[in-house]
């Protein structure tokens, strides 16, 4: 049996240092520019692809790291570099996880490589679940997928919103209603292959933070995809729907939820990276900024804030690592440990970046210093992939066994 350990092994440390180098040398110098441009940073993703940091091989290696720490370690370093650029690099991962959790081996082998492309021609992917009237309430989804048996094709109609990489993706993974009346258990996920007619980008959102990441509506008008684009296959879907109709289906019936459950600790790791970055800037600043004849860190009011910031960041990382370790080693979440990690890390990123701005005083409020951007970036971490309120709902239901509303 492997002894209990909380430190990274030598291989992991080498990978972490390599990512850190990219984050420090390539991402940080480019971060402010792409934030201002508010455009998808293809050249940065291309740079990451050139060194193998944006590649299916690299993510597969980290995803299957037996300790479970490969993905959180990778994401923490990337988002320490910059969250907008980090999400441009990591956003494809959500769609990839959508296929990994719901797809057959053949679908995994066919579609995930097309999500990343290669170093000569990088591609990205999008996971489209949210809709204008179905955000936290996934069961209110309206996008419909209807099976055309004669042609063995699915026909999709509807509007998705808030899709990271929506419209610029090579491969879109779309969650749709296949049987109305069953709520979220009547949903299924579909691959929309590159160039499929009927899929178009709606409005691109202008955002508060993570502005280098592309977020847009995705409109589906009579989008026809072959039967093999239904993730998991028709037989499995029919069995699942039959169980749901009889009221015997388990929680595995919800396609979007399966993806979110698997990705929550990873999102928590991103938040830890942002918080750590802001904390480091604040610590440096507090040591060097002199007021009243001494560095401001000499005041307990400042030093204690830094102590609290660091404590919260370390606690958040431990929750993220625990959830990732549990997921990878097959331990069942019994108290929504994935949601706990995302909730605490998201709230930590938001509060730590706000404290960092305060410690930098006027400078913290300007774009001359990065904490202003980090604070804007951190704000999304209590909203996407399930808001903080929804994480609390999931945890409360899990620990109480009650249908808390």
Ligand X SMILES: Cc1cc2nc3c(=O)[nH]c(=O)nc-3n(C[C@H](O)[C@H](O)[C@H](O)COP(=O)(O)OP(=O)(O)OC[C@H]3O[C@@H](n4cnc5c(N)ncnc54)[C@H](O)[C@@H]3O)c2cc1C
Smallest CA-to-CA distance from 174 within 114, 110, 131 is with 131
* Distance between CA atoms of residues 119 and 380, nearest Å: 30
| CB of 21 vs ligand X, minimal distance in Å | 28
**Identified catalytic residue from 76, 131, 347, 385:** 385
* Distance between CA atoms of residues 33 and 402, nearest Å: 48
Q: Is 359:312 a contact under the CB 8 Å cutoff? A: no
Residue matched to tokens 């007619």: 197
Residue nearest to ligand X (CB): 135
| CB of 231 vs ligand X, minimal distance in Å | 15
Q: Which is nearer to ligand X, 232 or 386 (CB)?
A: 386
Q: Which is nearer to ligand X, 100 or 163 (CB)?
A: 163
Contact residues for ligand X (CB under 6 A)?
A: 94, 127-130, 135-136, 162-164, 207, 210, 215, 380, 383-387, 389-390, 393
**Element (DSSP H or E) covering residue 182:** none
Q: Which is nearer to ligand X, 263 or 324 (CB)?
A: 263
* Distance between CA atoms of residues 71 and 263, nearest Å: 10
* Distance between CA atoms of residues 385 and 395, nearest Å: 15
Handedness of CA 45, 51, 56, 62 (dihedral sign): negative
Q: Which is nearer to ligand X, 94 or 258 (CB)?
A: 94
* Distance between CA atoms of residues 354 and 40, nearest Å: 26
Q: Which is nearer to ligand X, 214 or 317 (CB)?
A: 214
Distance spanning both ends of the chain, measured CA to CA: 42
| CB of 151 vs ligand X, minimal distance in Å | 28
Q: Is 268:316 a contact under the CB 8 Å cutoff? A: yes
| Per-residue tokens: 394 | 């999931």
| CB of 266 vs ligand X, minimal distance in Å | 13
Q: Is 205:254 a contact under the CB 8 Å cutoff? A: no
Smallest CA-to-CA distance from 102 within 245, 253, 243 is with 253
Q: Which is nearer to ligand X, 218 or 283 (CB)?
A: 218
| CB of 30 vs ligand X, minimal distance in Å | 20
Mapped onto helix, strand or coil, the DSSP state of residue 203 is strand
Q: Is 116:55 a contact under the CB 8 Å cutoff? A: yes
| Per-residue tokens: 9 | 């092994």
* Distance between CA atoms of residues 53 and 93, nearest Å: 13
Strand partners, 226: 153
| CB of 131 vs ligand X, minimal distance in Å | 8
Q: Which is nearer to ligand X, 270 or 305 (CB)?
A: 270
Active site residue 385: yes
**What are the E-state strand segments in 194-352?**
199-204, 215-226, 290-291, 294-295
Please list the active-site residues.
Answer: 385
């Amino acid at each position: 049996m492997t002894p209990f350990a909380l430190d990274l092994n030598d291989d992991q440390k080498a990978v972490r240092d390599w990512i850190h180098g990219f984050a420090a040398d390539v991402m940080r110098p480019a971060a402010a520019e792409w934030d201002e441009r508010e455009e998808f940073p293809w050249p940065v993703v291309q740079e990451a692809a050139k060194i193998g940091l944006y590649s299916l091989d690299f993510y597969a290696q980290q995803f299957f790291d037996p300790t479970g720490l490969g993905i959180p370690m990778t994401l923490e370093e990337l988002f320490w570099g910059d969250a907008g650029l980090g999400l441009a690099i990591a956003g494809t991962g959500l769609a990839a996880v959508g296929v990994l959790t719901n797809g057959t081996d053949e679908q995994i082998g066919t579609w995930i490589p097309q999500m990343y492309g290669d170093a000569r021609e990088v591609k990205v992917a999008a996971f489209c679940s949210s809709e204008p009237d179905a955000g936290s309430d996934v069961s209110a989804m309206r996008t419909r997928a209807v099976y055309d048996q004669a042609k063995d094709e699915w026909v999709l109609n509807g509007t998705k919103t808030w899709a990271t990489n929506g419209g610029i993706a090579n491969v879109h993974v779309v969650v749709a209603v296949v049987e109305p009346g069953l709520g979220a258990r009547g949903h299924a996920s579909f691959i929309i292959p590159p160039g499929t007619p009927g899929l178009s980008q709606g409005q691109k959102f202008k955002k508060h933070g993570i502005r280098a990441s592309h977020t847009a509506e995705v409109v589906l008008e009579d989008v026809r995809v072959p039967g093999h684009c239904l993730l998991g296959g028709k037989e499995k879907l029919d069995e699942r729907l039959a169980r749901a109709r009889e009221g015997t289906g388990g929680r595995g019936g919800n396609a979007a939820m399966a993806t979110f459950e698997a990705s929550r600790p990873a999102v928590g790791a991103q938040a830890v990276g942002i918080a750590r970055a802001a904390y480091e800037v604040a610590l440096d600043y507090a040591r060097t900024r002199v007021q009243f004849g001494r560095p401001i860190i000499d005041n307990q009011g400042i030093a204690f804030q830094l102590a609290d910031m660091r404590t919260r960041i370390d606690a958040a990382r431990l929750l993220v690592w625990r959830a990732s370790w549990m997921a990878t080693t097959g331990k069942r979440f019994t108290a929504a440990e994935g949601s706990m990690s995302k909730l605490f890390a998201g709230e930590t990123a938001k509060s730590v970046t706000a404290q960092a701005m305060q410690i930098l005083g006027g400078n913290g409020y300007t774009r001359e210093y990065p904490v202003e951007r980090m604070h804007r970036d951190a704000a999304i971490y209590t909203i996407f992939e399930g808001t903080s309120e929804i994480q609390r709902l999931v945890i409360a239901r899990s620990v109480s066994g009650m249908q808390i509303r």
